Amino acid sequence: MNSVPDVTANPTPVKDFWTFGYGGRNLPELLEFCKTNNLLLVDARYAPQSRIPQWQRNSLDAKFGARYMWINRFGNMNYRPEDRHKGIRIVDFDAGLTLLRGELEENPFQDWKGFVVMCQCPELQGCHRNTLLSLLQMSGYEWKGEVPHA
């Protein structure tokens, strides 16, 4: 007799995550941290652009390959200096979380051990990464801290 799996039991495996603000940091240290720990880099910027070429989306995609994922749904709609007085407003956390879970849990070609949430802000306080950190923790993910300096 074949047993039928319980399709209602769909536990979400808890994945560790770190945060990273690239302001004043260098790309090689982040790349090495992600490779060493088998982590997905989640670009949480509303627009993945930078005045510094190495932090632009096309450069990150080229350096990280399948290890890079831009989730614009995690971006702060009020990222522009003239809009910051309006506070942090995440585009659509639930939709972003669905995309992230799809990559972390349904991609048979990767065995991610966790992920790094990245944006430009050098400090976590006052940055939308801090809001994402709280939302991700409430969704069952465990924050391990900021990516350490090399």
The 10s digit of each residue's pLDDT in 125-139 is 999 999 999 999 999
Domain that holds residue 38: 16-146
CA distance 18 to 90: 18
Instruction: Using a pLDDT cut of 90, give the percent of the chain over it.
Output: 74
Identify whether 82 is part of a domain: yes
Identify whether 46 is part of a domain: yes
Identify whether 142 is part of a domain: yes
- Helices vs strands, H then E, count in the chain: 4, 5
Can you give the CATH number for the domain in which 102 is found? 3.40.1010
Number of domains in the chain: 1
